[in-house]
Amino acid sequence: MNILVIMIFIAGAFLVQMGLGFLQIKHFSNSYAELRRIGKVAIGKKPGKFRAGTIVLFAVSNSGRILKAQKMQGVTIMAKVKDLPGFEDKNIRTLKEEDLVHCNKLLKQAILDAVSNYKTIMSGGVIPEKNSLFKNMMLKAERTVAIKK
């Protein structure tokens, strides 16, 4: 009987997490769509494995001027997209680490990722897909097996 209660509790927690995750993605999508109506959107991210992850969105004009900036930062699915003041009317191409003194470390890294992504796309390049934790583990295992042969 106790196992059944534990299983029901775990299933309930999973469903709550799934529902809250859906709401977070919906909120992010709405924010992205709002920025997309203003201009191009540059996105930067600094995923957190055991600490807060950060996503930055910049609505950018054709000349590279930042029209609106938003961020989503947090550890849990309760993180929301919020305005990021201090970047309006700056040019995304000329943002440097010195312009980010008022930002925390993860936010700086996400902003610099957005700048890099913007420059790559605008120069006709492609942003390489980063491997997931599982993919990195698989690649490491393959290299280990290959070395032993």
Residue 61 confidence (pLDDT):
93
Q: What is the model's pLDDT at position 7?
A: 93
CATH number at residue 49: 3.90.1010
**138 within domain boundaries:** no
Range of the domain at 86: 2-128
Residue partners of 46: CB distance under 8 A and separation at least 6:
53, 54, 106, 107, 109, 110, 113
Q: Does 90 reside within a domain? A: yes
DSSP 94: G
Residue 135: its H or E element: helix 133-148
User: pLDDT tens across 62-119, in order?
Assistant: 999 999 999 998 877 778 899 998 899 899 998 877 788 888 888 999 999 999 999 9
pLDDT for residue 96: 79
Residue 146 domain-assigned (yes or no): no
The pLDDT score that the predictor gives to residue 86 is 87
pTM: 0.78
95 lies in some domain = yes
Task: Identify whether 94 is part of a domain.
Answer: yes
The C-alpha atoms of residue 37 and residue 59 are separated, in whole angstroms, by: 9
Asked whether residue 143 is domain-assigned, the answer is no
> pLDDT tens-digit profile of 107-116?
999 999 999 9
Query: Residue 144: inside a domain, yes or no?
Result: no
Q: How many domains does the chain have?
A: 1
